[in-house]
Amino acid sequence: MRRLLCLLFLVLALPASAAGLLDSRPSSTLGSINNSADFLPVREAFQLSLVESTPQSIKLRFVATEGYYLYRHRFQFRADPADVGLGAAQLPKGEQKHDEYFGDVEVYHGILDVELPRTDSRAFTLAVTYQGCADKGLCYPPETERLSIDGSGATTTAWGWRELALFFLAGLGLTFTPCVLPMLPILSGVVLRGQIGGLRGFNLSLAYVLPMAICFALLGALMGMFGAQLNLQARLQSAWVLVPFALFFAVFALAMFGVFELKLPYAISSRLDRIAGRTEGGSLWGAAVLGVVSSLLVSPCVSAPLAGALLYISASGDALGGGLKLFMLGLGMGAPLLLVATGGAAWLPKSGPWLIYVKNAIGVLLLGLAIGLLSRVLPGQITLLLIGLLAGGVGLFMGALEFVYKPPRKRLGQLLGMFLLFYALACWYGAFSGQSDPFNPIGQPRIVASNEQQPQITSSWQTITTPAELDRVLAEAKSSGTPLLLDWYADWCISCKVIEHEVLNDANVVERLKGYRLIRFDITASNTEQRALLDRYKLFGPPALMFFGRDGVERADVRVIGEINATDFAERVAKANDRI
């Protein structure tokens, strides 16, 4: 009770300025300050998979996340070696999109299936080049992925032994949860009927584990077959899906904390219990029936991790791979029973208070996942505030403010709790100060502008195309004490044209940019050096506008990514002028 009161006190003690913070919704004009988190990496925004490869054709699937689209005219398909016979790509008609600078173009949202006729049965590497943009005004450079095509024409699956091993380990980990581990002695008593050890015990336990794993495999195969058609990964970027899923994980977290018991409805569980009760546990057939029933009984307890696995599988479009992954998950969950059956029960950990710690840890992870989902639709400051609340709550429940004698192990936990509490305070301070980075919640100290006279106005933009040129102009600006504005531009970027004509030529913006050195980095070629430079500055593509102070250091808190209007950008320049 004392811990709960402390947590309530800290929540109620938050400054009254929270009302202003809650009003800081994502702007409809986009281009919010340093809004890198608003955009996905290119291979998350556009997911490419090889669906089928036969001697006659190759079928590819692109899944564009909601809010992103692909250009029809930017697709390229090349074979390596080049003499491998490939026909022209069969692309469906796209959606018409008119742009005042580029004219009429065709784009694709959601799922796109592409078929490539094949006249050669040799194995080769298929290079797939594509390009797309975000509706929010960010254009990605052309991206190339390489796929290995089997010479036999068999479908290339997107899984390997490492992935299968990870799913097996995940299943093994799920066994050590408070609602699964205590079932092992019960199940061993029902299934084995005291026949522990020897070939008979191993066969009985295997007859139990395999049907349970097959039930999971069937679910994985169905999700791999139909999940991509539902476009779950793309739909999960919508607020209408993210918020309910976040609540879903929060509810599971409360169940882990013991607020309520999570189980199947009584009508279903009672019927399953009757089936299990009528089943003869000592027979192979009875063990198999119990395995199927157990997969249904255990599912509610592991629903949250299972849902994450299904979402991961849904993007692959691979029924065989999805089935094998969840089959390995089921085998991992059944492995401890096989250990019991062969006489190795002494090797397993015993039920005890440590299971409560595991349960609480899973609950904290689920709350963290819920906050991660909400971070895609909430402003960065609100997300930082929620992270602080979670860290502070964990710190309090670890006894951060309980100043009484404790044994060494609990004192170590209290020390960790105090660290989490201090981190929570830093997150709250940062949130109310306009910060959004949980790894640097307080942010950089504000640099006071010098009283020195501003340099003369730079009359025009200077265009550069190489990293060496960029390093040179940044060094020159630093040595002369001149602030610098860096504009990332490309000919194929629609939003770059909008910013060039409607924002940077605005009279108010031009007036506030007096004294800046104006540099435009042209990334139209999108070569290896230029793409490495994007990675260096943690950018996905143009447009982006970066401010560098007189000391040559970027003022990352006023960086603009994506499209922005002239009024908002003029305000950004004014804020940057206070920091240079």
**For the domain that residue 548 is a member of, what is the CATH number?**
3.40.30.10
Q: What is the pLDDT along the chain (580 residues), one digit of tens a residue?
A: 444 334 333 333 333 333 333 333 333 334 444 455 667 888 888 988 888 888 788 889 898 888 889 998 889 998 888 778 788 888 888 888 876 656 678 889 888 889 888 877 778 888 999 998 888 778 888 888 988 887 654 444 545 677 788 888 877 777 766 556 555 655 565 555 555 556 666 777 777 778 878 877 887 777 766 655 555 555 555 667 667 777 877 877 777 777 766 555 556 556 555 655 555 445 666 666 666 666 555 554 555 566 666 666 665 556 777 788 888 888 888 777 777 766 655 555 555 666 677 677 777 877 887 887 787 677 778 888 999 899 888 888 888 888 777 777 777 888 888 898 999 999 898 888 877 778 888 865 444 444 444 334 334 899 999 999 999 999 999 999 999 999 999 888 888 888 988 899 889 999 999 889 999 999 888 888 888 898 888 888 889 999 999 999 998 888 988 888 898 899 889 988 887 7
User: What's the domain range around 553?
Assistant: 462-577
DSSP codes of every residue in 134-201? ETTTEEPPPEEEEEEEPTT-PPPPS--HHHHHHHHHHHHHHHTSTTTTTHHHHHHHHHHTT--SHHHH
- Pick from 125, 128, 127, 121: nearest CA to 85: 121
Domain boundary among 149, 184, 200: 149
* Domains identified in the chain, total number: 4
Give yes or no for a contact between 513 and 461, defined as CB atoms under 8 angstroms apart: no
Residue 573, pLDDT score:
92
Residues 118 and 260 in one domain: no
- The residue out of 432, 454, 474 marking a domain boundary is 432
Clarify whether residues 145 and 239 are in a common domain.
no
What is the spatial distance between Cα 151 and Cα 79, in angstroms, rounded to a whole number?
Answer: 13
- Position 266 scores a pLDDT of 58
| Residue 154 in domain | no
Predicted confidence at residue 291, as pLDDT, reads 65
Residues 106 and 247 both lie in one domain? no
Is there a single domain that holds both residue 281 and residue 427? no
User: What is the pLDDT, as a whole number, of residue 369?
Assistant: 74
263 and 178 fall within a common domain: yes
Residue 298 covered by a domain: yes
CB count in 10 Å sphere of residue 436: 23
Does 181 fall in a domain?
Answer: yes
Q: Is residue 337 part of a domain?
A: yes
Predicted local distance difference test score (pLDDT) of residue 5: 39
Contact 542, 139 (CB under 8 A): yes
**Nearest alpha carbon to residue 74 among 521, 497, 501, 526:** 526
Q: Which two tokens stand for residue 59?
A: 């079928």
Does 236 lie in the same domain as 196?
yes
CA distance 157 to 294: 30
In-domain check, residue 408: yes
Which of 432, 449, 475 corresponds to the end of one domain?
432
CA 442 to chain centre: 24
Amino acid at position 484, single letter: L
Do 401 and 500 lie in one domain? The reply is: no
In sequence order, which residues have a C-beta less than 8 Å from that of residue 450 and are 6 or more positions away?
A: 481, 550
In a domain, 559, yes or no: yes
- Classify each residue of 229-242 as buried b or exposed e, where b means 16 or more C-beta atoms within 10 Å of its C-beta: eebbbbebbeeebb
pTM for this predicted structure:
0.46
In this structure, the answer to whether residues 361 and 471 fall within a common structural domain is no
Helix (H, G, I), strand (E, B) or coil at 103: strand
HEC string of 251-262 equals: HHHHHHCCCCCC
- Phi, psi at residue 57, to the nearest 5°? -160, 165
CATH number of the structural domain spanning residue 51: 2.60.40.1250
500, 534: one domain: yes
Residues 266 and 127 in one domain: no
In a domain, 445, yes or no: no
- Give the pLDDT confidence score for residue 137 in this predicted structure: 79
- Is 135 in the same domain as 178? no
Q: Are residues 190 and 306 in the same domain?
A: yes
Whether 447 is covered by a domain: the verdict is no
Could you give the CA distance from residue 119 to residue 117 in angstroms, rounded to a whole number?
A: 7
User: How far apart are alpha carbons 394 and 333 in whole angstroms?
Assistant: 29
